[in-house]
């Protein structure tokens, strides 16, 4: 069941440059999309989200873009910092009221090179 896909298992980016992480989904009933960051031995930490009525949401260095027609979202981190090195998970839900299960992608390991 590959309803949420992250096709790049890993990504390396130079410090200070832009990191772009991609995510595709197949279920058109998804209404709310989230990005989580995960360090080893810790749980997923919420980063940023976007509702399907928007195409962009920005929070500091993090911006999420949603292209509903392409069923694609991306996370932009600029400028990238060494502390951003982690696994990033894309997740989707049928509701933005936090009351529905999340369907996760397989994650992308981001490495920021100093």
d(CA 20, CA 11): 9
41 near another protein, judged by CB under 8 A: yes
List the one residue out of 6, 4, 3 whose CA is nearest residue 110: 6
Coil, helix or strand at residue 83:
helix
Q: How far is the CB of 112 from another protein (least distance, A)?
A: 23
* Residue closer to another protein (CB basis): 19 or 108: 108
104 near another protein, judged by CB under 8 A: yes
What order do you get walking across the sheet with 56-59 strand by strand? Answer: 4-5, 19-25, 72-77, 62-67, 56-59
Q: Which range, of 17-25, 61-69, 72-80, 89-97, touches another protein by CB under 8 A?
A: 89-97
Q: Which range, of 17-25, 67-75, 78-86, 94-102, touches another protein by CB under 8 A?
A: 94-102
């Amino acid at each position: 069941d590959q309803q949420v896909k992250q096709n790049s298992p890993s990504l390396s980016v130079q410090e200070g440059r832009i990191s772009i992480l991609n995510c595709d989904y197949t279920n058109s009933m998804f209404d709310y999309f989230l990005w989580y960051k995960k360090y080893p031995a810790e749980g997923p930490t919420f980063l940023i989200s976007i509702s399907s009525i928007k195409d962009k949401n920005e929070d500091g260095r993090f911006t999420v873009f949603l292209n509903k027609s392409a069923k694609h979202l991306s996370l932009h981190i600029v400028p990238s910092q060494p502390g951003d090195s982690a696994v990033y998970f894309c997740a989707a839900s049928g509701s933005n009221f936090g009351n529905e299960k999340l369907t996760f992608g397989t994650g992308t390991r981001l490495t920021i090179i100093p």
